[in-house]
Structure 1
Amino acid sequence: MNFYQVRLAGIAVIFFLLLSTTNLLFHSPEWDVPILGDLEENTACKQSVCTIPTTSSKLPTTFPIYTRDSSERKWIALTFDDGPDDRFTPKILNILRREKVQATFFVSGKQIRKNPTVLKRIAREGHLLGNHFENHQDLRKIPTEAVIQELRETDRLVYELTKKRMGLVRPPFGAMDTRIKQIAANHGTKMVFWSVDPKDWTGRTSEQIIRDIKKKTRAGDIILLHAAGGWDSLHGTVSALPEIIRYYKNKGYRFVTVDQLLQIPGYLTK
C-alpha cells in the first residue's frame, strides 16, 4: 500500500468514527423506531393502543401509544395541534363554542409565548390541553436534555397561565423513538396520537378535508387537525369544521376530549 492509499484509509477511518459518535450522541441505534406517520394506515394501530416494537435491551420490548377508543360508544375526539395562534385558533374556538363541542389542543411552548391570551381562552372554555413540546422539531434528532427541556418548558408555561399540569403529550410530526417515550413516561404523562389524519396543514380545501374525514372516521376515532401553522393554509380546516361537527352529530355521535374518549387522566394532580 503506497502513501496515498494509506492516507485515504486514514481519512475514511476518521470519518467513520466521527459519524458513529454523532449518531450515539443524537440518535442512539438501540432506540430506533420508524416515524409513525399515517397511523390510520398502520394495521398495528387500529386498536385503542398501538404497540410499537423496539430493539432496546434496556427498555420494554413494546410500548403503548393511544390512537383510538375500541369501545362501541359513538364518541369522536377532535384534536388540534401546533397552536395557539392569533389567526386560526380563535376562529376554531368560536366554532367549537357555537356548536357546543369540547376538543383537545396539543400546544407548543413557542406559540404559547406569542399568544398567552388565546391559550388561557382554550382552557377557560373547557377544552383539554396537551403538550406538543416547545419548538415543533423532530425530537429524535436532538439530545435527551434538550427533549426534557422542551417538555418541561411547555408544561411550565401552561401551568403559569392556567394552573393545569398537562398529563398527555404528542410529539411533533408523530416522530419518536423509545427514548422519547421513556422521557414522557418518566414525566408521568401518557402519549396520544391519532387514527384519522386529513392532512389539513397541506392547504387542502374544505371539501377535501370533509370527504377524507367522512370516509375514514368511525366511532372511537381521534381526528388530527391543526389550529396554527400550515403556512397560511388552514382556511380549509376552519371552513370544514362546522359541517364535520353537524354531520356526525346528526348521526348520533358525541364529540369529547381525548381523556374522556380513552378514559385516562387529562391532567396530573401533582
Structure 2
Amino acid sequence: MKKWIFGIVVVSILSMLFVGCTTVGAVKLPVDLNDDEKQIENIAPDKIEDIDDNKIKDEEKTNQDEINVEIETDEKNNNDKINDTANQSESENKADQDKKTDIVDSKIHYSGDGSKKLVALTFDDGPESKYTSQIMDILDQYDIKATFFVIGQNAEKYPEVLKSIHEKGHEIGNHSWSHKYLPKLSKQEVEKEILMTEELITDILGEHSAVLRPPYGALKKQGIEFVNSLGYNVVNWSVDTRDWAGTSGEQMMKYVQQQLKPGGIVLMHNGGNPKSVKNTVDTLPQMIEWIREQGYEFVTVSEILDL
C-alpha cells in the first residue's frame, strides 16, 4: 500500500517538473516567421513611418516634376506663339510704316513758310469746256491769279482753254498725262506721264512749267528725286476743300475756315465730276471774300513758295 502511494507521488512530481520546464523553455523558442514578417519585425515602427513618408514625398516630387515640365512646355509654347505674333505684328507695322514713308517726304511742298498772310488757290484735273471759263471769270472779277494743274490728255482735247488760262496770267502746273497713281508705275512710265504733258504744254504755250502735282498727291521718295531731276518742284496742298467728293458749299467753307493758315495752298478742282466742280464754282466767290476778310493776299504757287 505504501509502495503504491509512493509511486503516485513520484509520478505527480515528475509530471509537474516536465510541465514547468516546457513552459519556461517556450519563451526562448525561435520564432518561425516568413520573410516579409521578419522585415517588418526587424524595423522599428518610427522607421516604417519614415519610409512611407519618403515614398510619398518621392512620388509627390515625381508628379510635381511632371507637372512643372508640362507647365514649362505650355509656357514655352505660349511664349513662342506670343513672340511669333509680336514679330509678325512688328514686321507688318514696319511694312506699313515703310509704305507711308515711301509716299511722304519733306521735299514735297505743302505750303509757304507762313511768314506772310499769303494764300494760293489751285485747281486740278482740267482743262474742260464749261466750268474752267466760269472759274476764270470769277478770278478776274476779284483780280486774283491762281495755279491750274492740268492733265495732259485734257489739255490736248482743249488746247484753247489752256491758252486762255495762260493768257489771263494764271500759272500752269503739270498734273501728269492721264491721272494714274504714280507710285504703282515704273520709272519709265512715270517719266512718260510727266514728259508727254510737259511736251504738250511747251508746244502750246512755248514755255516750261516748273511745278508738278502728282495725282492724289502720291509719289514715292525716289520718285520725288526723279521728278526734281526733270526740273519740277512737287507741290501738294495744306487746305483740302474735298470738292472732289461732291462736298456741299457750306462744308467746303468749313474746311477752309478750319485749315487755312498763312502760306496756305488750297486744293480745288476744275475737272472731274461735273456736280463737284459746279459746287466749287458756286462757292468760290464766298470763299474768296471770306479769305480776304481775314487779311490774306492771293498769289500763285510759285510766288507763295518763292520758286
TM range, smaller chain:
0.7 to 0.9
Alpha-carbon distance between aligned partners in 2 of 1:187 and 1:32, rounded to the nearest angstrom: 24
Alpha-carbon distance between aligned partners in 1 of 2:102 and 2:258, rounded to the nearest angstrom: 24
Give the counterpart letter for 2:270 in structure 1.
A
Conserved 8 A contact 1:33-1:177: no
SS in 2 for 1:223: strand
RMSD over aligned CA atoms reads 1.8
Deviations 1:118-151 (A, max 9, x none): 1001100001111101000101112211110111
Alpha-carbon distance between aligned partners in 2 of 1:178 and 1:153, rounded to the nearest angstrom: 22
Structure 2, unpaired ranges of 5+: 1-97
Matched-pair identity in %: 34
Conserved 8 A contact 1:103-1:127: yes
User: Which residue matches 1:268?
Assistant: none
User: Which residue matches 2:111?
Assistant: 68
Alpha-carbon distance between aligned partners in 2 of 1:202 and 1:184, rounded to the nearest angstrom: 28
Structure 1, unpaired ranges of 5+: 1-30, 37-50, 53-62, 265-270
Q: Which has the higher contact order (CA 8 A, sep 6+)?
A: 1
Residue 236 of structure 1 pairs with residue 269 of structure 2:
no
Q: What TM-score do the two structures reach when normalised by structure 2?
A: 0.65
2:224 to 159, 169, 181: 181
- Superposition deviation, residue 114 in structure 1: 1.2
User: Which residue matches 1:262?
Assistant: 305
Q: What TM-score do the two structures reach when normalised by structure 1?
A: 0.74
Conserved 8 A contact 1:33-1:178: no
Give the counterpart letter for 1:258 in structure 2.
V
- Superposition deviation, residue 215 in structure 1: 1.8
User: What is the aligned length?
Assistant: 211
- Point out the structure with max Rg over C-alpha: 2
User: Which residue matches 1:134?
Assistant: 177
User: Which residue matches 2:236?
Assistant: 193
Residue 98 of structure 1 pairs with residue 102 of structure 2:
no
Pair 127,70 (structure 1): closer, same or farther in 2 beyond 3 Å: same
- Superposition deviation, residue 221 in structure 1: 0.5
- Superposition deviation, residue 182 in structure 1: 2.4
User: Which residue matches 1:207?
Assistant: 250
Pair 34,238 (structure 1): closer, same or farther in 2 beyond 3 Å: farther
User: Which residue matches 2:37?
Assistant: none
- Superposition deviation, residue 242 in structure 1: 0.6
User: Which residue matches 1:165?
Assistant: 208
SS in 1 for 2:122: strand
Which has the larger helix fraction?
Answer: 2
Pair 179,141 (structure 1): closer, same or farther in 2 beyond 3 Å: same
Residue 123 of structure 1 pairs with residue 148 of structure 2:
no
2:194 to 129, 132, 151: 151
Give the counterpart letter for 1:78 in structure 2.
L
Conserved 8 A contact 1:109-1:134: yes
Deviations 1:5-41 (A, max 9, x none): xxxxxxxxxxxxxxxxxxxxxxxxxx954586xxxxx
